[in-house]
């Protein structure tokens, strides 16, 4: 069977094909569907290796449409690099190592999410960008008003202009803030539409609907969590999920020394931040259903500090969400564990 590899880049990509006859074809082409079709159309079915990247999914789908087997591999998998020298790095050397990995199957396949979940994630990222745009406009407006000796009362972003209207703004300042107000009004309308769309998606998704029953988990967090994982069956344990989402600390340990740092970098930082926000929401709640979670987090805060406790709570929420999805069960508040009384402990010891 023929095999090959593509070192993908935004504008141009390096291709290496190794045929059963022993012929090796190296070619540099534009990263377009037309050029890939010219190279691969009409060839016998072959295995082609790609590194996971921004362009890898559409390239993989296009090549599969041409009748080839495509492997999308993890670029961080060290054995796939082969004997590549870090001192001399070129696209031809990279694609040669990828072709060798394809031949010897020294690669780690990445999970390719469904088209539906990829589309949902894109919609959620657009909503997040709208939210950040509104936040930046509000922060800038606050800075300008503070420069005039005025302070805007605290409150929700949706009521920002109502609180701003209560201040006696000068005519020049009102003219300066007019474009920002126009931007915020437009963003508020778009966010309202996006939120309605998210609620409609949750209503038709049994998994996301079940996850919203967890305290602190709203429609946005539930949809983002499902979109990031795609399917619960690809993870064997809840610990793999928290590691995948970057909710575990960095560790540099050797011998008797053990050092843990900040949480690791995640492929889904948006989901990571949403779970941390959900942890803060649980931390501030007074609901009896979250009493056990809050008590557990407060014990950690006494020993390690509030920030560490919030990350630990976010990690536990992720484990709960995964378990509910995997087992198809409803949320049940964790039971509060009571310590045995001193008399009972003495009796047991006796």
* List of E strands, 63-198: 69-73
What domain range includes position 239?
209-327
Claim to verify: residue 293 and residue 215 sit in the same structural domain: yes
The CATH code of the domain that includes 23 is: 3.30.420.40
Question: What are 113-168's pLDDT values in tens digits?
Answer: 999 999 999 999 999 999 999 999 999 999 999 998 989 888 888 889 889 888 88
Pairing state of beta strands 12-18 and 3-7?
antiparallel
Polymer length of the chain:
350
Q: Give the pLDDT score at 10.
A: 92
Q: Give the pLDDT score at 250.
A: 59
Percent of the chain scoring above 90 in pLDDT: 67
End residue of a domain, out of 204, 234, 249: 204
Q: Give the pLDDT score at 80.
A: 81
Give the chain's largest Cα–Cα span.
Answer: 84
Laid out side by side, the sheet with 12-18 consists of 24-30, 12-18, 3-7, 47-51, 69-73
Claim to verify: residue 9 and residue 59 sit in the same structural domain: yes
Task: Give, in order, the Cα–Cα distances in Å from 19 to each of 24, 36, 58, 104, 214.
Answer: 6, 17, 24, 15, 54
Q: Using pLDDT thresholds of 50, 70 and 90, give the confidence band for residue 241.
A: very high
End residue of a domain, out of 104, 135, 163: 104
CA 291 to chain centre: 28
Q: Give the residues across from 260 on adjacent strands.
A: 251
Residue 348, in any domain of the structure = no
Question: What are 304-330's pLDDT values in tens digits?
Answer: 899 999 999 999 999 999 999 999 998
Q: Give the pLDDT score at 265.
A: 66
Contact indicator for 191, 123 with CB cutoff of 8 Å: no
Mean pLDDT of 293-314: 92
Claim to verify: residue 214 and residue 311 sit in the same structural domain: yes
Q: Give the pLDDT score at 86.
A: 64
Q: Using pLDDT thresholds of 50, 70 and 90, give the confidence band for residue 331.
A: confident
Q: Give the pLDDT score at 268.
A: 85
Residue 278, in any domain of the structure = yes
Claim to verify: residue 179 and residue 238 sit in the same structural domain: no
pLDDT of residue 14 exceeding 50, the answer is yes
Percent of the chain scoring above 70 in pLDDT: 89
Mean pLDDT of 179-193: 93
Q: How many CA atoms lie within 13 A of 169 on its CB side?
A: 22
- The count of domains in the chain is 3
Question: What are 51-105's pLDDT values in tens digits?
Answer: 999 999 999 999 999 999 999 999 888 888 766 656 778 889 999 999 999 999 9
Q: Helix 269-284 vs helix 219-229: angle between axes, to the nearest 10 degrees?
A: 140
pLDDT of residue 350 exceeding 70, the answer is no
Element (H, E) at 114: none
Mean pLDDT of 273-283: 94
Claim to verify: residue 16 and residue 74 sit in the same structural domain: yes
| Cα gap 277→230, rounded to integer Å | 21
Q: Helix 115-147 vs helix 269-284: angle between axes, to the nearest 10 degrees?
A: 60
End residue of a domain, out of 38, 73, 104: 104
Mean pLDDT of 160-177: 90
Q: Using pLDDT thresholds of 50, 70 and 90, give the confidence band for residue 211.
A: very high
Claim to verify: residue 234 and residue 132 sit in the same structural domain: no
Task: Give, in order, the Cα–Cα distances in Å from 234 to each of 99, 209, 226, 322.
Answer: 27, 21, 12, 11
Q: Using pLDDT thresholds of 50, 70 and 90, give the confidence band for residue 30.
A: very high
Residue 273, in any domain of the structure = yes
Residue 337, in any domain of the structure = no
Indicate the DSSP class of residue 159. G
Residue 275, classed as helix, strand or coil, is helix
Residue 191, in any domain of the structure = yes
Claim to verify: residue 175 and residue 260 sit in the same structural domain: no
pLDDT of residue 343 exceeding 70, the answer is no
Claim to verify: residue 41 and residue 56 sit in the same structural domain: yes
- Average pLDDT over the chain, rounded to whole? 87
Question: Tokens 């790609």, residue?
Answer: 50
Question: What are 251-274's pLDDT values in tens digits?
Answer: 555 555 555 556 666 668 899 999
Residue 341, in any domain of the structure = no
Of 344 and 114, which is predicted with more confidence? 114
Residue 44, classed as helix, strand or coil, is coil
Q: Give the pLDDT score at 25.
A: 92
pLDDT of residue 282 exceeding 60, the answer is yes
Q: Give the residues across from 48 on adjacent strands.
A: 4, 70
pLDDT of residue 277 exceeding 90, the answer is yes
Claim to verify: residue 215 and residue 276 sit in the same structural domain: yes
DSSP conformation letters of 190-227: HHHHHHHHHHHHHHT-HHHHHHTTSTT--HHHHHHHHH
């Amino acid at each position: 069977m023929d095999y090959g590899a593509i070192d993908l880049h935004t504008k141009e990509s390096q291709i290496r094909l190794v045929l059963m006859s022993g012929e090796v074809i190296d070619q540099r082409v534009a990263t377009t569907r037309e050029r890939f079709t010219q190279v691969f159309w009409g060839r016998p079915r072959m295995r082609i290796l790609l590194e996971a990247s921004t362009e890898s999914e559409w390239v993989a789908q296009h090549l599969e449409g041409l009748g080839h087997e495509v492997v999308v591999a993890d670029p961080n998998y060290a054995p796939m690099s082969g004997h590549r020298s870090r001192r001399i790095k070129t696209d031809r050397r990279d694609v040669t190592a990828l072709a060798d990995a394809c031949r010897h199957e020294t690669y780690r396949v990445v999970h390719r999410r469904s088209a539906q979940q990829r589309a949902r994630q894109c919609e959620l990222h657009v909503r997040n960008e709208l939210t950040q745009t509104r936040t930046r406009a509000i922060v800038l407006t606050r800075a300008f008003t503070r420069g005039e000796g005025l302070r805007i009362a605290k409150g929700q972003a949706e009521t920002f202009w109502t609180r701003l209207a209560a201040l006696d703004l000068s005519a020049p300042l009102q003219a300066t803030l007019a474009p920002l107000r126009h931007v915020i009004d437009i963003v508020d309308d778009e966010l309202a539409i996006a939120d309605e769309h998210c609620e409609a998606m949750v209503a038709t998704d049994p998994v996301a609907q079940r996850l919203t029953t967890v305290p602190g988990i709203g429609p946005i967090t539930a949809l983002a969590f499902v979109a990031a994982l795609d399917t619960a069956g690809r993870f064997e344990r809840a610990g793999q999920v928290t590691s995948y989402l970057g909710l575990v600390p960095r560790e540099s340990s050797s011998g008797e020394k053990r050092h843990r740092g900040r949480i690791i970098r995640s492929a889904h930082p948006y989901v990571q931040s949403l779970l941390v926000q959900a942890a803060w929401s649980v931390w501030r709640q007074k609901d009896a259903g979250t009493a056990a979670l809050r008590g557990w987090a407060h014990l950690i805060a006494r020993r390690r500090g509030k920030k560490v406790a919030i990350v630990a709570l976010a990690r536990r929420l992720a484990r709960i969400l995964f378990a509910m999805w995997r087992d198809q069960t409803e949320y049940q508040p964790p039971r509060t564990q009571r310590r045995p009384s001193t008399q009972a402990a003495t009796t047991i010891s006796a």
